[in-house]
Structure 1
């Protein structure tokens, strides 16, 4: 499996140019804004252009606390982080550089609250936001899209992207292909980790993942207890969170362990490597 799908052609850029907002789409022509919005904000089409030889994908896991992996992470050509995970105060363990930050629609407000660190001081960082189509609509009703457009007017040098509606469907299709599980009928939400891993595989020749446990880790009775987020030491336990979401059938939940099983399978044939904890996937049974 050389490539999962050509994701970069489905990244939409919101970029301020003078008083207008330039929105770069791709050749698949996603749903366009209403005529009124189009008149106010001229559109142009083109893919995201980003390529890295080596990437450090830094999770938000408490596994990174005390790891002293920061220098190793920062030596990577590109450093990828998720949601509102900070670096300030944690540089020794998680590094301080950020090339790309993948953010869920539900984390937008937390990112805005940390604007000074995550936005004002991150003019060289590429931000990719993902969310359901209802949040990303460009006809004036998509609240996340509207917020991002306003944000880009305030910070015109910020590189803000969203994932197209058609590519969002591709993420669902990929999940079903790899697991046999239909995301919607199983009441599952893909995690930001899922989006981030797939994006990394499209943009990076080699992906080094820091802080991701193997899929069987939390089912071991002797696993160490660490917080779900390294920056919330009093927050929920990581494995308790993983197991609770994996087992629940009521409401919508992430399938963290299922996703990690897929990542382990990919690592058998793709250039993915796991650190802190350091592990390799079990070989397939012949």
Structure 2
């Protein structure tokens, strides 16, 4: 099991909102810096920082990680890697894609600190989604995003979380929202809001529910020590409505 605790964490998203943000020095000053999938630092340090304490990686990103291993699996920083995916990918009987790749990696990089989420943990993530949204993940054809796993893991490890590059849930509904790339490292890739809205509304096949997840994160920020930067926003406090004086009879 992963033994890690940080007073403060920078959770760096992969969003295009980080481009030209110059948040790098601020991010690097944080005790623990958390990144996702194959989001690079090389060439983007001024905006996203250079340090990585923890990297949370989806089963679907493992090939890209292997291709860029010289940059991303840099053992010298002592980065911890957490791989998540459906239990079929994690099987240890020779059929689990993620497990097999990690076995190969550990031979090449014996000092690599890599962890896999257990089946039990994956079920906990599903259960949490159901508790928070009222929706069953499987029945609603939802894939949880790496952001969901990363935020949930960060809540376990960090006393304070500074999230960089995450928009509020209603951001894409505003017709005047700026257009930014979905990933800062794919500047000519798809637009972030286009991606969010198409996934949120998608009915055929499985989709990420990015906006639903952000509603949950916004809610959590009311209770937990979570703060949003680039764009900077705070959840409005829930005003307690005064009781209405209704006649009893």
> Is the 8 Å Cα contact of residues 75 and 111 (structure 2) preserved in structure 1?
no
Q: Look up the match of 1:38.
A: none
> Is the 8 Å Cα contact of residues 75 and 112 (structure 2) preserved in structure 1?
no
Q: Look up the match of 2:228.
A: 274
CA distance in 1, matches of 2:124, 2:71: 32
Structure 2: segments with no counterpart, 5+ residues? 241-249
Q: Look up the match of 1:44.
A: none
Q: What CA deviation, in whole Å up to 9, does each residue of 1:41-98 have, x standing for no partner?
A: xxxxxx3110000000000000000000000000000000000000000000000000
CA distance in 2, matches of 1:223, 1:153: 47
Q: Look up the match of 1:68.
A: 22
Q: Which secondary structure state, in structure 1, belongs to the residue aligned with residue 22 of structure 2?
A: coil
CA distance in 2, matches of 1:106, 1:175: 20
> Is the 8 Å Cα contact of residues 55 and 76 (structure 1) preserved in structure 2?
yes
CA distance in 2, matches of 1:211, 1:257: 14
Q: Look up the match of 2:108.
A: 154
Q: Look up the match of 2:127.
A: 173
TM-score, length basis structure 1 = 0.83
Q: Which secondary structure state, in structure 2, belongs to the residue aligned with residue 268 of structure 1?
A: helix
Q: Look up the match of 2:243.
A: none
CA distance in 2, matches of 1:169, 1:122: 33
Residue in structure 2 matching 1:233, options 160, 172, 187: 187
> Is the 8 Å Cα contact of residues 123 and 157 (structure 1) preserved in structure 2?
no
> Is the 8 Å Cα contact of residues 82 and 101 (structure 1) preserved in structure 2?
yes
Q: Does 1:118 align with 2:63?
A: no
Q: Look up the match of 2:176.
A: 222
Q: Which secondary structure state, in structure 1, belongs to the residue aligned with residue 163 of structure 2?
A: strand
Q: CA deviation at 1:139?
A: 1.4
Q: Does 1:98 align with 2:52?
A: yes
Residue in structure 1 matching 2:217, options 263, 268, 284: 263
Residue in structure 2 matching 1:137, options 78, 91, 94: 91
Q: CA deviation at 1:120?
A: 3.6
Q: CA deviation at 1:132?
A: 0.2
Q: Look up the match of 2:238.
A: 284
The CA RMSD measured in Å over matched residues stands at: 0.8
> Is the 8 Å Cα contact of residues 123 and 158 (structure 1) preserved in structure 2?
no
CA distance in 2, matches of 1:74, 1:92: 10
* Alpha-carbon distance change, 213 to 122 in structure 1, aligned in 2, over 3 angstroms: farther
CA distance in 1, matches of 2:207, 2:113: 30
Q: CA deviation at 1:119?
A: 1.1
Displacement over 6 Å in runs of 4+: none
> Is the 8 Å Cα contact of residues 123 and 159 (structure 1) preserved in structure 2?
no
Q: CA deviation at 1:122?
A: 5.0
Structure 1: segments with no counterpart, 5+ residues? 1-46
Q: Look up the match of 1:209.
A: 163
With 236-245 and 119-128 compared, the bigger mean Cα shift is at 119-128
Q: Look up the match of 1:17.
A: none
Q: Which secondary structure state, in structure 2, belongs to the residue aligned with residue 76 of structure 1?
A: coil
Q: What CA deviation, in whole Å up to 9, does each residue of 1:102-151 have, x standing for no partner?
A: 00000000001101101145551000000001000111111111111111
CA distance in 2, matches of 1:121, 1:88: 15
